[in-house]
Amino acid sequence: MLLIASYLFYMSWNSQMVLLIIAMTVFNFFYGFLLAKAQAKKKLIFGLGLAANIACLAYFKYANFFVDSLTAFWRLTGQHADKVVLNIILPLGISFFVFEFIHYLFEIYRGKKPLDSFVLFGLFAAFFPTQIAGPIKRYDDFSKQMEEEKHLRLSYFDEGIPLIVIGMAKKVLIASNLAIIVDMMAQTINSYGALELWIFCYAFVFQVFFDFSAYTDIARGSSLLFGYRIPINFNLPFISSNISELWQRWHISLSSWLKDYCFQPFGGTKRKKWSMERALLLTMTIGGLWHGASWNFVVWGFLWGLSLVVHRYFRRIKSKLPQLNPVWQSKAFNYFSIFLTVSVFAGSSVFFRLPDFKPAVIALKKMLLFSPLLSPGAEHGFIVMNSNLPIVVPLALMMLAALTLLIVPVSFMLENGAFKKVPVPLKASYLVALVVLMLILLPNNSTPFVYFQF
């Protein structure tokens, strides 16, 4: 029932594209048995299966990017080249279910047994709550849940419904309203000074966080209604005191996937000189490209790889200066580290949000040099008086800050199980209040989830 429902769910977007996920499911299901039985040429068979999945993702997601890049390179050589556009539809969720297939083949190659039921394997990839934007599941954990006998339990609803409502509140009340501000500023990005650009970047980072964590909450809540538990994807990322910790708390299912299936195969765990640094740069660059078919995403990923390398060397420096341990362990240094980490994350997001490379570079230059600090027309040294930015912006930011304080603590309580102990009348009142607020503050135009485009 769940498998059929998941395929019908996918068909509600594009009925033809369901053939792609079915074809890939059939291929990887039988290929898993072939790989498990292979002996002498197991590595070659694994490589071919890996290449087939990557080729499928590359065709649908990156064909136009490759063609545009070749055309641009050809023009740089002084040759004439007409723009070529390939009419390829990007299938929803392809980045997520292809990564799950790759994970499956990796684990079979490493010695785990393949699933012997096509229905279970098909549901692993097509499970509707995680089908479009993850989290990226691990088949050994999910297969155990699929094999369990399921009974309808009130406790599933007691856990699942609050997650769905809070996820919707994150999306409707915070992410969608932040999107209005971010989209408005992105259209006239060149007219802003450094202070406004930093506000733009912070607003976008929080938009993505609330948007993507909202989807994850709704997916987890929907899964719980059927008795399935899928992994959390965020763990308070904005309290991270360094870059490495942030990536352990942000988009956890992707970060752990990249660690297991890119970083380690690239030699990240070897002790050879530069092996870890090279692996970090390659892994994060691939992670950037996974997010989108654009050089902006490649640069964004490379910058994060570079940041992780810098952090790695900074840790070495700290270990060689034990006399400064009181400084490293102080609260002031910890708060500064959190601020610096989040600022680096926000600053790099100009490459993530802006569609073109040149405006992103110009914006980042202004932000780093703090020149000009404010855009022309700004008076009294504050963004409220900026002629390019309506007064509704700071008012909306204050309202969003209040909503964040209303939603985030309860979201944290849900994660650690404390919300279960809240009296039922109080719990129900809180959820009803969120629904009422959503009805009152719903934006005129709903925005799609950010990660639908990936």
- What's the pLDDT tens digit per position in 57-109? 999 988 888 888 887 777 777 776 677 777 788 888 888 999 999 999 999 99
Exposure string for 102-123, b = 16+ CB within 10 A, e = fewer: bbbbbbbbeeeebbeeeebbbb
Instruction: Please say if the pLDDT value at position 382 is more than 50.
Output: no
- 122 pLDDT band, cuts 50/70/90, is very high
Give the mean pLDDT of 132-149.
Answer: 87
Instruction: Please say if the pLDDT value at position 352 is more than 80.
Output: yes
Q: Is 301 exposed, middle or buried (0-12, 13-18, 19+ CB in 10 A)?
A: buried
Q: Which residues contact 109 (CB under 8 A, 6 or more apart)?
A: 35, 42, 43, 46
Instruction: Please say if the pLDDT value at position 383 is more than 70.
Output: no
For residue 389, what pLDDT is reported?
52
- 303 pLDDT band, cuts 50/70/90, is very high
At 164-208, the pLDDT tens digits run: 998 998 888 888 888 888 888 888 888 888 888 998 999 899 899
For residue 126, what pLDDT is reported?
92
Let me know if 80 is a catalytic residue: no
At 248-281, the pLDDT tens digits run: 999 999 999 999 999 988 887 777 778 888 999 9
Supply the pTM of this predicted model.
Answer: 0.86
- 380 pLDDT band, cuts 50/70/90, is very low
User: Are residues 298 and 289 in contact, defined by beta-carbon separation less than 8 angstroms?
Assistant: yes
Q: Which residues contact 80 (CB under 8 A, 6 or more apart)?
A: none
For residue 21, what pLDDT is reported?
92
Instruction: Please say if the pLDDT value at position 290 is more than 60.
Output: yes
For residue 325, what pLDDT is reported?
83
Instruction: Please say if the pLDDT value at position 317 is more than 60.
Output: yes
Delimit the domains of the chain by residue range. 2-147, 155-453
Nearest to 360 by CA among 343, 370, 377, 348: 348
Say what the alpha-carbon torsion angle 311, 317, 318, 322 is, to the nearest 10 degrees.
170
Give the mean pLDDT of 16-44.
Answer: 91
Report helix, strand or coil for 271.
coil
- 381 pLDDT band, cuts 50/70/90, is very low
Give the mean pLDDT of 231-236.
Answer: 87
For residue 394, what pLDDT is reported?
64
**Average per-residue pLDDT in the chain?**
85
- 387 pLDDT band, cuts 50/70/90, is very low
At 324-334, the pLDDT tens digits run: 888 888 889 89
* 338, amino acid identity: I
Active-site position among 80, 103, 151, 291 = 291
Q: Answer with the residue of higher pLDDT: 445 or 67.
A: 67
Nearest to 348 by CA among 302, 413, 417: 302
